[in-house]
Chains A and B, each alone.
Chain A
Amino acid sequence: GIQVEQSPPDLILQEGANSTLRCNFSDSVNNLQWFHQNPWGQLINLFYIPSGTKQNGRLSATTVATERYSLLYISSSQTTDSGVYFCAVEILTGGGNKLTFGTGTQLKVEL
């Protein structure tokens, strides 16, 4: 099956710093999503981004489908950004959009 790898696995930032998270995938995908799992376990949709670039406030994401990677940028990080960031990909199957998740990046933002 498709492999989804994320880097770095762990990241500690000082509040106000910027960071880039990476997601590599091993095959062509139909769709890619970024999620934030907060310290309470809730899974929050950040981006639905099969290709191109999108921005939402301090967050932006870029997917280069032909090169099989996606990047998530966090600018001016805040303590509330702490948690685990997952990318998940959908491959073209007989139906539906079953997602394969990456291993996640654990982010901690400190004061």
Chain B
Amino acid sequence: NAGVMQNPRHLVRRRGQEARLRCSPMKGHSHVYWYRQLPEEGLKFMVYLQKENIIDESGMPKERFSAEFPKEGPSILRIQQVVRGDSAAYFCASSQGQGDASLFGPGTRLTVL
């Protein structure tokens, strides 16, 4: 009964490269959320997805960031042309829907050199 899985756990990129973060929700959960935690700060909502649909992307930066949750496979958070300010911990959470508890994955720590 694996929980929310994220990989990689640590990712190092040079400025200008692309970063791909993957999230597999808990079995039975169809709602996926991505959050970002900048150093010394709390978590901030980025995007909410269901299978093949972006429901709410109000927290996503307007450029370079995109997310998907395909019919098959994990959810992907993609950051193009990374900059040092993108260095953060990115957490994925899943739930069964509104009013249900969100369960969080272990996070991916992105470092941009």
Say if A and B assemble together.
yes
B95 lies within 8 A of A96 (CB):
yes
> Contacts A96-B48, A96-B55 given: A30-B98 contact, CB under 8 Å?
yes
Number of A-B contacts (CB under 8 A): 72
- Is the contact region of chain B dominated by helix, strand, or loop, or is it mixed? strand
Residues of B within 8 A of A (CB-CB), count: 26
B43 lies within 8 A of A41 (CB):
no
> Contacts A41-B89, A43-B91 given: A99-B102 contact, CB under 8 Å?
yes
Complex Cα–Cα for A41 and B88 (A): 11
Complex Cα–Cα for A95 and B109 (A): 28
18 contacts between A and B (CB under 8 A): A30-B98, A31-B99, A33-B102, A41-B89, A42-B107, A45-B101, A92-B98, A96-B31, A96-B56, A96-B95, A97-B95, A97-B100, A98-B33, A98-B56, A99-B43, A101-B35, A101-B44, A104-B42
A interface list, Cβ under 8 A from B: 30-31, 33, 35, 41-43, 45, 48, 86, 88, 90, 92-104
